[in-house]
Structure 1
Amino acid sequence: MSGMAYDPTAYPAVAVTVDLVVLTIRDDRLCALAVRRGERPFRGRWALPGGFVRPTEELDAAAARELAEETGLTPAQVHVEQLRTYGSPRRDPRMRVVSVAYLGLAPDLPVPLPGTDAEAATWMPVSELEGADVRLAFDHAEILRDGVERARAKLEYSSLAAAFCPAEFTVAELRRVYEIVWGTEIDARNFHRKATKTAGFLEPTGETTTRDGGRPALLYRRGPAEQLQPPLTQPRR
């Protein structure tokens, strides 16, 4: 309070960490990066990648460092945004730890390499990580849930879905991203009309491909629009 002397004994040290919800699509499933902890606490349990912020390190730099250590990628190659902060007093049994969580999205991410304090690292379907058979360490189940919900919501009003696609993609491939992330089927004709009519969302390349099967399909790239107007509303599941 203003005017009161500062008493350092009344304010014990608080550590700061970053945790990463890194999502990609593999084998037609929404997957998150998970690491098996090799140290206490929660040794042997699956967790989200992350670590302590160094004393002279900015938060974004710490998140970029952890991302590079686990995937070999940089924020220039992956869409990364700050998710939220988690500060429950008992979220870490070692001491008071406040975590700043980040959400990362990208297509075809490489096989991860575990960091120095992890026994293993893998891409695991979100449905399995959220299932009853997996107990994530710390409060990472909550962080994962918040990250997935952020991704699902942002697909409605932003061009974020294109972050799951290669540089050039078909409307069918883009629609499949929405179906996988939202967990529901989408009417193909209605989606094609909305996606191609939304100003700034997609830019035609003038090229076609037959990789979807059937007739040649037009290839598109991500347009300049960050916000979609009108939004692509999520169907009821």
Structure 2
Amino acid sequence: MFSSQERPDGVSVAVDLVIFTVRDGALQVLLIERGKEPFLGGLALPGGYVRGSEGLDAAAARELFEETGVDPARLHLEQLRAYGEPGRDPRGRVFSVAYLALGPDLPVPVAGTDAATAFWMPVKKAQSAELAFDHAAILSDGLERARAKLEYSTVATAFCEEPFTVADLRRVYEVVWDAKLEPSNFHRKVTRAEGFLVPTGRHRVADLGRPAALYRRGGATTLTPPLLR
């Protein structure tokens, strides 16, 4: 979780990262195996201390790259919330600002200096695992934020490599929401949503059935009308 810098005295500020991707047909979260105490060998979300010369967003981007090797430019990255319960870190008073990151079929991560390993784990499995610090709560909050954002924003396209089909996008919604959606109804809603999808004029030829139209993400950030669970 933490960088190799010496921990400052008193109150400290850290960032933690909830990074989701869709791999092998499932929503997965990036976890690390901690390479040092506390919780040596335990599972945790990646993250670390904010350095004196950087802001929160910069610290999140740096820790993301240092501990996982994932390029921050490939992700949708936003602040989730702050966590500051006494005792959340056995070493002292640490406030953490958590970030939510979403990306399309991200590569196998490379662990940084403070992590023994870094790997993707299906979210359902991670929810039943014992995570260090208060990371189980952060993971739960991140999952609910991701699910809610798919209702009211166009962020689902962050999981898709362009160009993509409506079926590709529907699978994102299904794995994040953990629910099956009716294909024709979904197609009608997303193609009519203003600024959500832009037709490329090209098609993907399938082995069976008709060629599927290909799209790229539009300029809208909010989904009008919303696509409710």
TM-score (norm 1): 0.91
1:231 paired with 2:216, answer: no
What CA distance in whole angstroms lies between the structure 2 residues aligned with 1:174 and 1:128? 23
* Partner of residue 189 from structure 1, selected from 159, 184, 187: 184
SS of equivalent residue, structure 1 residue 93: coil
Q: How does 1:118-197 map to 2 (within 5 A)?
A: 118-131=115-128, 134-197=129-192
The answer on whether the counterparts of 2:14 and 2:94 sit within 8 Å (CA) in structure 1 is yes
* Partner of residue 88 from structure 2, selected from 88, 91, 96: 91
Q: Which amino acid aligns with 1:84?
A: R
SS of equivalent residue, structure 1 residue 76: helix
Q: 1:204 and 1:212, CA in 2 relative to 1: closer, same or farther beyond 3 A?
A: farther
1:33 paired with 2:30, answer: yes
1:78 paired with 2:65, answer: no
Stretch moving more, 54-63 or 206-215: 206-215
Q: 1:58 and 1:176, CA in 2 relative to 1: closer, same or farther beyond 3 A?
A: same
1:49 matched residue in structure 2: 46
Q: 1:65 and 1:34, CA in 2 relative to 1: closer, same or farther beyond 3 A?
A: same
2:3 matched residue in structure 1: none
1:115 matched residue in structure 2: 112
Identity of aligned residues (%): 62
Q: 1:213 and 1:49, CA in 2 relative to 1: closer, same or farther beyond 3 A?
A: farther
What CA distance in whole angstroms lies between the structure 1 residues aligned with 2:181 and 2:89? 41
The answer on whether the counterparts of 2:31 and 2:120 sit within 8 Å (CA) in structure 1 is yes
The answer on whether the counterparts of 1:71 and 1:109 sit within 8 Å (CA) in structure 2 is no
What CA distance in whole angstroms lies between the structure 1 residues aligned with 2:133 and 2:166? 39
Gaps of 5+ in 2: 1-8
The answer on whether the counterparts of 1:71 and 1:110 sit within 8 Å (CA) in structure 2 is no
Query: What is the root-mean-square deviation of aligned Cα atoms in Å?
Result: 1.2
**Cα shift at 1:215:** 1.4
The answer on whether the counterparts of 2:70 and 2:109 sit within 8 Å (CA) in structure 1 is no
Q: How does 1:210-229 map to 2 (within 5 A)?
A: 210-211=205-206, 213-229=208-224
**Cα shift at 1:211:** 4.6
What CA distance in whole angstroms lies between the structure 1 residues aligned with 2:209 and 2:158? 25
Q: Which amino acid aligns with 1:82?
A: Q
Query: After TM superposition, which residue ranges in structure 1, 4 or more long, deviate above 2 angstroms?
Result: 70-76, 210-214
What CA distance in whole angstroms lies between the structure 1 residues aligned with 2:143 and 2:193? 24
SS of equivalent residue, structure 1 residue 33: strand
1:61 matched residue in structure 2: 58
What CA distance in whole angstroms lies between the structure 2 residues aligned with 1:33 and 1:54? 23
Q: 1:223 and 1:110, CA in 2 relative to 1: closer, same or farther beyond 3 A?
A: same
The answer on whether the counterparts of 1:53 and 1:62 sit within 8 Å (CA) in structure 2 is yes
The answer on whether the counterparts of 2:88 and 2:94 sit within 8 Å (CA) in structure 1 is yes
The structure having more radius of gyration, on CA atoms, is: 1
Gaps of 5+ in 1: 1-11
The count of aligned residue pairs is: 221
* Partner of residue 205 from structure 1, selected from 197, 200, 204: 200
The answer on whether the counterparts of 2:67 and 2:114 sit within 8 Å (CA) in structure 1 is no
What CA distance in whole angstroms lies between the structure 2 residues aligned with 1:213 and 1:48? 41
